[in-house]
A and B are shown apart, each in its own frame.
Chain A
Amino acid sequence: MGALGLVYFYACAALAVAGALAVVIAKNPIRGAMGLLLLILSVAGLFLALHAQFLAAIQLIVYAGAIVVLFLFVIMLLGPSSSTPSDGRGFATRAFGGGLFAIAGLGALGATWRAMGAWRHLPMASVEPGFGGIDAFGGVLFADALVPFELSSALLMVAVLGAIAIARGRQGLASLSRAELEVARTATAGGDPTGPEAGVFSHEIDLKEQPR
């Protein structure tokens, strides 16, 4: 793998860190979501370097294809309200928390390096054929990890129900159909999807009409 492997690794790593920094630093949440997407793609690439093909595919399908999309949906729904003005409130607490966490994390990394000692420079073991493929995955998922597998399907169902219940709120079907109506109206009216008027919830009238 040699030099190509090194370059590939460092490229993916750099892109991942860049994406993470974008998520954390960007003021516009859309930019943050794009950073997240970049991170996910980079991590998928790193998975590929680690011979976890199936997992890389899953990462792309689920993360990039569903979760990031979901984030984008919500950010679009919120419209301009999704970005918050920045002021110095609570700066001391946040800086304290963040700084402490950074020190703790990096300290832990450093300590782990020292603890690993001679094991740090051990090369990776050679890959056996079939490692990381679908067959191997299936063999584990449906045999040893069958119970967690079934439980996770139950978990997903519960999550769906919960999300619907929470997002719907007290108004029930009425609010949902009104939002749908608004989307339909905006789409058919050919209004600019971007900008302040695009967000459904930014219509003052809607919000005021909904009973609390």
Chain B
Amino acid sequence: MITVEHYVAVSALLFVIGGVGFLVRRNVLVTLMSIEVMLNAANLALVAFNRSRMAHAASQTYPGPSHTGQVFVFFIIAAEAAEVAVGLAIVLAMFRLRQTVRTDDADLLKN
């Protein structure tokens, strides 16, 4: 029987993997992809919780069970697409400036 805790466990695992990848890897492209991983984990958790209770919210316009979690994920995906676009543009700008994609090398703010 798959209960919500299974999904939460998967989500947590993915989140931790993504987070550790973000903190450990120095290639900026890999860090951006790790962020994607983390966001996917969050999405999974949201959808799982939304499915688990089938609650009926009182202030809904459209009748039926509440879809709040899924709509939330929808917006996350939209915003996150925007974020990826801008982030990759920054990577390109940084590369043009420094000829590197390593985060270590972008240390102009040192001291």
Contact = CB atoms under 8 A, between A and B. Distances in A.
A169 B12 contact: no
Contacts of A201: 95-96
Contact of B20 (A51, A66, A98): A98
B103 to A, nearest CB: 9
Interface centre among B25, B48, B95 (most CB of A within 10 A): B25
A177 B53 CA distance: 55
Interface in A29-83: 29, 32-33, 35-36, 39-40, 43, 46-47, 49-52, 54-55, 58-59, 62-63, 66-67, 70-71, 74-75, 77-78, 81-83
B65 A113 contact: no
Interface residues of B, number: 78
B106 interface: no
B88 A152 contact: no
A95 B17 contact: no
Secondary structure class of chain A's binding surface, majority of residues: helix
Given A21-B17, A101-B16, A126-B54, 8 more contacts: A6-B2, A24-B37, A32-B30, A63-B40, A105-B12, A109-B12, A123-B3, A125-B52
Interface of B: 1-10, 12-21, 23-27, 29-30, 32-34, 36-37, 40, 43-44, 47-48, 50-54, 59-62, 64-65, 67-68, 70-71, 73-75, 77-86, 88-93, 95-96, 99-102, 104
